[in-house]
């Protein structure tokens, strides 16, 4: 294990320039306790804002202006509603958006491949932590992440990256297969139903885009064969209807809260202020990313964010990026039942992936 760690350090981190090291350390931090991720991402974003040349590069295009517009439009609502936790979370989101722009400006194909290796390796360590948690008596294991659902989202994104690299024969196949196997174990341990179905959709989309039609047929057939086994693979499915009915009350309360402040919302974590009024179950968020965005930012406040997100999405579809599109499909499905990217670790990993459509634009960096 020590030799493996040393090998990855020597070939992926040491001696490749300041920005390269910063990117690799930030990727490593995603798989450490969330407060470490938060400090690292905040430090990188603040550094990017302080350094004149880096700041100019980040904010020269429309994406930087969209972040500024998003920040200016949405800072007032949580203050007006005395939603001070929402203010803190909002600044965190802005820093993650700046981090995403920073990554776009420095990430190239070579650096992304090395980052993908580090993700695969660190996800193995996350699975080991989850296994130790289960052995110590923990039910649904969160590993180093805030809760099991966020761990499920991380597994989804990392697994699709590993599978794509395996399909295109980029990277050590034994290492990638081992990482996939450990992530499958992690998925069983965290027992995140949404992640299970999200990965299935992501794999299906990935195989279609890469034109692996025979494997698609085999994958669908395997899925049909495994359907009767789902209650054993995912024991929580037995309570699925109850869970959906509970979340339906949350969604209903969130929508009613949005209609109360439809233009500018009431800030992140706004659900905590309205759930009692509209008969929803107590929770931090709406358990649906789309409803939560509307409740948090309103139809006006969410426009710059949607525009910011759509730009790399459109670029990825134009370039037919298999890994980006498959991860996008999986995340969107997961977002129907959870606020998938509303935490520092999942948000930071998504920021890394958003750089994918721009890799060819940074051939000299890294």
Choose between 164 and 5: higher pLDDT. 164
Mean pLDDT of the chain: 92
Q: Where does the chain have alpha helices with state H?
A: 2-12, 18-30, 34-50, 52-59, 62-74, 76-80, 84-106, 109-135, 148-167, 173-190, 193-209, 213-226, 230-233, 240-260, 271-274, 289-301, 303-319, 322-334, 344-354
0.75 exceeded by pTM: yes
Model confidence pLDDT, tens digit, residues 15-64: 457 899 999 999 999 999 999 999 999 999 999 999 999 999 888 889 99
- Could you tell me if 359 and 110 are in contact, meaning their C-beta atoms sit under 8 angstroms apart? no
**What pLDDT, on a 0 to 100 scale, did the predictor assign at position 7?**
56
Q: Tell me which DSSP letter residue 360 carries.
A: G
For residue 231, give every residue at least 6 positions away whose Cβ sits within 8 Å of its Cβ, in sequence order, or none: 237, 238
Model confidence pLDDT, tens digit, residues 4-13: 555 555 555 4
The whole-angstrom separation of Cα 206 and Cα 204 is 6
pLDDT level of residue 75 (50, 70, 90 thresholds)? very high
Gyration radius (Cα) of the chain, Å:
20
> Does the CA dihedral 295-81-99-73 come out positive or negative?
positive
Model confidence pLDDT, tens digit, residues 318-344: 999 999 999 999 999 999 999 989 899
The whole-angstrom separation of Cα 58 and Cα 107 is 13
**What pLDDT, on a 0 to 100 scale, did the predictor assign at position 15?**
43
């Amino acid at each position: 294990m020590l030799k493996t760690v040393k090998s990855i350090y020597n070939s992926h981190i040491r001696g490749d320039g300041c920005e390269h090291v910063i990117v690799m350390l930030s990727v490593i931090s995603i798989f450490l306790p969330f407060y470490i991720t938060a400090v690292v991402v905040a430090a990188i974003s603040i550094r990017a804002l302080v350094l004149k040349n880096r700041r100019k590069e980040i904010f020269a295009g429309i994406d930087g202006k969209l972040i500024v517009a998003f920040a200016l439009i949405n800072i007032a609502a949580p203050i007006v509603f005395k939603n001070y936790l929402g203010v803190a979370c909002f600044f965190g989101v802005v820093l993650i958006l700046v981090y995403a722009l920073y990554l776009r400006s420095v990430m190239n194909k070579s650096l992304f491949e090395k980052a993908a290796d580090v993700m695969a390796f660190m996800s193995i360590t996350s699975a080991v932590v989850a296994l130790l948690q289960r052995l110590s008596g923990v039910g649904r294991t969160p590993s180093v992440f805030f809760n099991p659902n966020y761990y499920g989202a991380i597994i989804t994104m990392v697994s699709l990256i590993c599978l794509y690299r395996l399909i295109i024969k980029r990277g050590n196949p034994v290492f990638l297969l081992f990482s996939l196997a450990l992530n499958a174990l992690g998925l069983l341990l965290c027992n995140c139903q949404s992640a299970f179905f999200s990965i299935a959709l992501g794999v299906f989309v990935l195989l279609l885009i890469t034109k692996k039609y025979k494997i698609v047929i085999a994958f669908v057939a395997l899925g049909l064969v495994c359907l009767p086994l789902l209650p054993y693979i995912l024991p929580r499915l037995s309570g699925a209807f109850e869970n959906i009915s509970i979340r339906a009350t949350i969604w209903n309360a969130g929508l009613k809260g949005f209609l109360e402040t439809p233009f500018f919302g009431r800030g992140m974590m706004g659900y905590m202020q309205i759930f009692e009024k509209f008969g929803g179950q107590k929770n931090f968020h709406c358990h649906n990313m789309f409803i939560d965005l509307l409740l948090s930012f309103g139809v006006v406040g969410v426009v710059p964010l949607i525009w910011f997100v759509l730009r790399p999405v459109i670029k990825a579809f134009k370039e037919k990026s298999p890994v980006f599109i498959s991860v996008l499909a999986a995340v969107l499905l997961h977002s129907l039942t959870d606020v998938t990217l509303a935490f520092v670790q999942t948000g930071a990993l998504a920021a890394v992936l958003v750089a994918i459509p721009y890799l060819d634009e940074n051939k000299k960096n890294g």
